[in-house]
Structure formats: C-alpha cells, structure tokens
Amino acid sequence: MITEKKKQTIKLMIAIAILAIILILVLMAMIKYEVEGEQNMPFKLSKIIIVSNAEGIENKTENELKWDFDIFQNNDVSFYIDSNTEDENLLIKSVTIDNIQILKAPQKGEIKVYMPNSKAGRLYNYEDQYLVNDSLQYKGASQSSPTELEIGSKGGTTWICFNNMGIANYTSNEAKEEIRQDGTWLKKLQIEKEEIEFTVSFDYTIETTKTKYKANITLDFPAGDISEDGRSSLEKTDMSDIIFKRVK
C-alpha cells in the first residue's frame, strides 16, 4: 500500500523529471538557434558578388617620366536581398554595414573602405570624404540606388568597396608601353597574390518594420587571380556560413 508520503514523493519526482525534460528541450533549442540562426527570415541575403581589379592613379608631377602611377587594388562587393514573405506591409526599413574589422592585413598596402558615390559612369570615387569610418547605412525606398544609399523596401541591393591602397608606385619612360588599368599591374610590378591578400569581417544588419536581424560576415580578397585575368569575380550563393539572429 502506497502511503500519502510516498505519493507526494512520486509526484515530486515526476514534476522534477518533466521540468528537466523541458529545460533540456529549451537548451537544445537555444543551441540550435546559436548554430543555425533564423531559418525563415522575411528578407534573406541570397547572393554576394565580389568584383576584384587593380588600377593606377596617375601622379600629376612635373618630372620628366612618361608614366608615373600609384597602384591600388579594389574589390567591389554587392549584396542581394530577396523578399521571402507574402505580407505586403512587411518592408525593409534599413540595411547597415558596421563593425568592420581587418582580420588579416596584406603584406603590401593599406585597407580603406568606400561607399558608392559617383554618378559619372563609375560607382566609386576614391576620395577621403567617401570613406566608411564607422558604419554604412542604406535606407528603405521604392528601389535600390547606390548613390542615394537606398535599398528597395521589398528587396534590393547594397554596395561597398574594400580597397588596398598604396600597393606600389610604377614609373616608366617607355613611350609606346601599353598601360592596362586592371590586375595585370601586379604582374608588371612582380607582386605576388599572397602579398596583397587580406580578410575582413563586418556586421550586416537587416531591419524590417517588425524585426531586426544581424549576421557577421567574413570575406577574403581579392577574388580570383587578377594578375593573370586582369579582372576577376566571385559569386557566393551558399550562405550556410552566414548566421542571422534577431537583435533584441
């Protein structure tokens, strides 16, 4: 015969077991969220395209040299965000790129980050007034516009440029020399790809009219072998390494 005391003990053990199971399930859900992040965001980062090149800025000096260029390596990055919701009232309020960190610095040159700024046939002018110092924010609008720093509120594109400035100086007096404004500058200067490689990380935040989501993204530059190809590109569509989480 089970006494009242034993009944209470059994009830307590059952309650403790149920509580333990609940805590385990909650812990498993938390671990899963930390590893996988948001699985059904209303707006998703679907593609990242990196276009890498190298250019020379001609020095306006009074020396007698035929050619005098400062060489830099540029990496234009585009982020494509697609709508993943049928809610017409759910919109993108803003997209922010911040917390930019140089995880691996190049052996040659200095990393500078630029926002899109030019309407004169090219997306970037590399002037100090267009440097990204703390953060770069795109506001939701009817459509994406790089020069207005706007992204389509129902999905669109954002842009940023990671440059390796001051890699080398090139001078020559060869009047008939072919000058190509591309990655073949590196071969001309006998610069190895390993000398200009660098890695950056940054936070990428998508704020909607209801929720804010943030992920940390790491990218390696330059894409491809620009010394051979001149200009190279990389299209990233596998986003399994980019984990978005809700910002509280």
The pTM of this model reads 0.85
Other beta carbons within 10 angstroms of residue 125's beta carbon come to 13
Highest mean pLDDT range out of 36-50, 109-123, 171-185, 227-241? 227-241
- Round to whole Å and give the CA distance between 102 and 201: 7
Choice among 96-100, 170-174, 226-230 with the minimum mean pLDDT: 170-174
**CA-based Rg of the chain, rounded to a whole angstrom?**
26
Task: Please name the residue ranges forming H helices in 37-130.
Answer: none
Q: Is pLDDT at 1 greater than 60 in this prediction?
A: no
Distances (CA, A) of 112 to 75, 172, 177, 185: 11, 27, 30, 19
Compute, in degrees rounded to 10, the torsion defined by CA atoms 56, 61, 63, 64.
Answer: 60
Q: Residues of the chain with pLDDT > 70: what percent?
A: 93
Q: pLDDT tens digits for 17-30?
A: 778 777 777 777 66
Structure tokens belonging to residue 117: 């700024």
pLDDT at residue 158, rounded to an integer:
98
Q: pLDDT tens digits for 144-172?
A: 999 999 999 999 999 999 999 999 998 88
Task: Please name the residue ranges forming H helices in the chain.
Answer: 4-36, 184-188, 193-196, 226-229
Q: Is pLDDT at 65 greater than 90 in this prediction?
A: no
Q: pLDDT tens digits for 97-121?
A: 999 999 999 999 999 999 998 766 7
